[in-house]
Structure 1
Amino acid sequence: MNQESQQNTQKEKKIAYNLNKLQKRLRRNVGNAIADFNMIEDGDKVMVCLSGGKDSYTLLDILLNLKINAPIHFDIVAVNLDQKQPGFPEHILPEYLNSIGVEYKIVEENTYGIVKEKIPEGKTTCSLCSRLRRGILYRTATELGATKIALGHHRDDMLETLFLNMFYGGKLKSMPPKLISDDGKQIVIRPLAYCKEKDIEKYAQAKAFPIIPCNLCGSQPNLQRQVVKEMLQMWDRQYPGRIETMFSALQNVTPSHLCDPKLFDFKNIQRGAVLEGIEGDIAFDKAEIPTTPVIQDEDDVNDYTENGIINFKAVE
């Protein structure tokens, strides 16, 4: 074997090694999220909403991978909503889904025409488009007998939503990893809740998923979400660990140290009472805020630690 062939072989081995490492990280993060929030239970039929973007392709791929060794049985059906956008390549998703042998359904609804009719040119289409999609997907889940609806939102989406609600909505609110519909009939899950967008992007490129760009909402310029995304990406570059610490904050909420009387009964605090389960008295002290991130990204430091237990947190 000549030197060039050896170099190519080494390069291919390195690529395969990095892909396997990345897949393990994503699989572990998805498994942890499923376990932490009891997203998938024995006998579930999970409807994976497949848009044709990197996130939903990755979600479907990782769930199919987990299903092989999961300690419970669950079924997967992929669903794509064809919104009749001009130039939409209708053949791509059916060809891909047939090639991997997964059950699927393509739902055809002209939501594009409705949005264009109702929303003036230049205005943001996201709100109406989202409402239309939600109704159609809820209906489809009922028709298919799906017990869970899986969406491809990831950790970065959740943080972006947190800041959007703070900046523009005056609410401390993000995307929940698991929620129930208003009528109580549908449960929506976000198995990628612990996954980083940059990991998903690398994985989608390595797997060469046939990405379909969205020309209806994601390509609109000057959206607030894009501004927030760029802000978080800048922080991630300048202050390593900050994103991880912020996401950790979503899981460590202290209602007694916020200002919402609906979450904590401030009015009935009485002198002499001892309150259990809250942080100590810091009324006269400045809060001690760490100057460096509390949570570091262990995946980038310690590689992977597998405990061998057959559960969603350790599925290989």
Structure 2
Amino acid sequence: MELQRLLSYTRKAVDDYSMINSGDKIAVGISGGKDSLTLLYALHGLRRFYPNNFEIEAVTVNAGIEGMDFSPISRLCDELDVNYTVIDTDIYDIVYNIRRESNPCALCAKLRKGAFNKKAAELGCNKIAYAHHKDDVIETFMMSLLLEGRVHTFSPVTYLERSGLTLIRPLIYVNEADVIGFRNKYNLPVVKNLCPADGETRREYAKNLIKSLNKDLPGTHDRIFTAILNGTFDGWDERIAHKHTRT
């Protein structure tokens, strides 16, 4: 995927859901994976021409897994002239050695979000950005349906009352396949995830299930996303209201 196409998808999401206002300072969550690095490129490129002026801060929560090296991301941020902060934590030790969690992902995610939100506030940010793409939207819908018995997925924009931050997801119109293409084309410095639970989560199960359904019934992937766009999910109906105010 070309950078221009990425910026087009990103701007559409930002416009459709009024994600960015003038004066915003956005902390971009950087895990080191392809998704978060693509988001960094997208927001860095968007701010060059977007009518609403905004700033970005790149932030990584280092869970303390031995062997994780974020120096390639630091060099990328230097090239992009984006301030980069790494938060060193003992999350891995807490989850795996002290608590010995049977479901480590839930506690790990909670602790990482807490550390990220705290640092974002310290940096003077009023918004945070996650790199969830279209496939994540659909997989979350499937997990909620099959595992929780409810029809739900996360919102494009979410106000976090406890922290006072607003969470935005600018990549919701981007397919994961396009993210992979972007990573390959621009040789993104992806940092390998050394977490022992990586690739063994329920999300991975949902991902494989959707792939299977899409193989048997071509177009299933896009039809699910269209149903979400046209439904009454929390936050997603804001796209309709926003469009009406523009016409």
TM-aligned CA deviation for residue 225 of structure 1? 1.3
Q: Deviations over 1:63-95 (max 9, x none)?
A: 111111111210111111111111111422222
> Which among 184, 188, 203 is matched to residue 225 of structure 1?
203
Aligned residue number for residue 48 of structure 1: 28
Matched AA of 1:59: L
**Identity of aligned pairs, percent?**
30
Aligned residue number for residue 3 of structure 1: none
SS in 2 for 1:250: helix
Aligned residue number for residue 199 of structure 1: 178
Aligned residue number for residue 140 of structure 2: 161
TM-aligned CA deviation for residue 218 of structure 1? 5.2
1:14-93 → structure 2 map (5 Å cutoff) = 19-20=1-2, 23-93=3-73
Which is richer in strand?
A: 2
Q: Does residue 231 of structure 2 align to residue 246 of structure 1?
A: no
CA distance in 2, matches of 1:254, 1:104: 37
Q: Deviations over 1:248-295 (max 9, x none)?
A: 11122269xxxxxxxxxxxxxxxxxxxxxxxxxxxxxxxxxxxxxxxx
CA distance in 1, matches of 2:99, 2:177: 32
Change (3 A) 1:156 1:98: same
Q: Does residue 155 of structure 2 align to residue 171 of structure 1?
A: no
CA distance in 1, matches of 2:232, 2:131: 28
Change (3 A) 1:149 1:26: same
CA distance in 2, matches of 1:54, 1:124: 24
Change (3 A) 1:49 1:184: closer
Checking the alignment, whether the CA contact within 8 Å between 2:60 and 2:85 is kept in structure 1 is yes
**Which is greater in Rg?**
1
Aligned residue number for residue 117 of structure 1: 97
SS in 2 for 1:45: strand
The normalised TM-score by structure 2 is 0.88
Matched AA of 1:214: N
The normalised TM-score by structure 1 is 0.70
1:249-264 → structure 2 map (5 Å cutoff) = 249-253=227-231
TM-aligned CA deviation for residue 184 of structure 1? 5.9
TM-aligned CA deviation for residue 239 of structure 1? 3.1
Aligned residue number for residue 306 of structure 1: none
CA distance in 2, matches of 1:142, 1:188: 12
TM-aligned CA deviation for residue 220 of structure 1? 4.8
Structure 2 unmatched runs, 5+: 234-247
